[in-house]
Amino acid sequence: MKILVINGPNLNMLGIREPDIYGRTTYESVCGKIRDYAAENGVEVEIYQSNHEGDIVDKIQSAYGKFDGIVINPAAYTHTSVAILDALKAVSIRAVEVHISDVNEREPFRHISYAGMACEHHIIGHGVDGYLEAIAYLAGAGS
């Protein structure tokens, strides 16, 4: 099974600022955890991060026919991007939405998720372990 993990804007800053919200694990460490977990579970994983909406759309489109699942944390684009929602719908790859923080307990503008409307499962507020739970879900369910 091949899973593409996509992270949106500023997630490359993890562990550097706002540790009270996003924890102290750096982005590189999160990527390491994801790679280790995937290898232990026989999953092939590619991790992608971009600060640019169109690049994320391009990456989702390029996954068509190549990946069995997408784990996506669109970060701030979660709450604004119909383009990312449409791209996820267009490729029709099983997708899981991850948020490190509990967006539903934060500002009202974080309560809407466009990308989430194309995802079959949502892991919200479980910290960076949410990425591993998402991989476990995709690898376990329907594989």
The answer to whether 73 contacts ligand CA2 (rule: CB under 6 A) is yes
What phi-psi label fits residue 124: left (phi over 0), alpha (psi between -120 and 50 degrees) or beta?
Answer: beta
Q: Which residue is catalytic, options 27, 37, 77, 99?
A: 99
CB 61 within 8 A of CB 48: no
> Which residues between 89 and 128 bind ligand CA2 (CB under 6 A)?
99-101, 103, 110
Report if residue 18 touches ligand CA2, rule: CB under 6 A. Answer: yes
Nearest Cα neighbor of 39 from 70, 73, 3 is 3
Catalytic residue flag (residue 137):
no
Q: Shortest distance, CB of residue 59 to ligand CA2, whole angstroms?
A: 17
Is position 121 annotated as part of the catalytic site?
A: no
Note whether 41 binds ligand CA2 by CB under 6 A. Answer: no
Catalytic residues: 22, 99
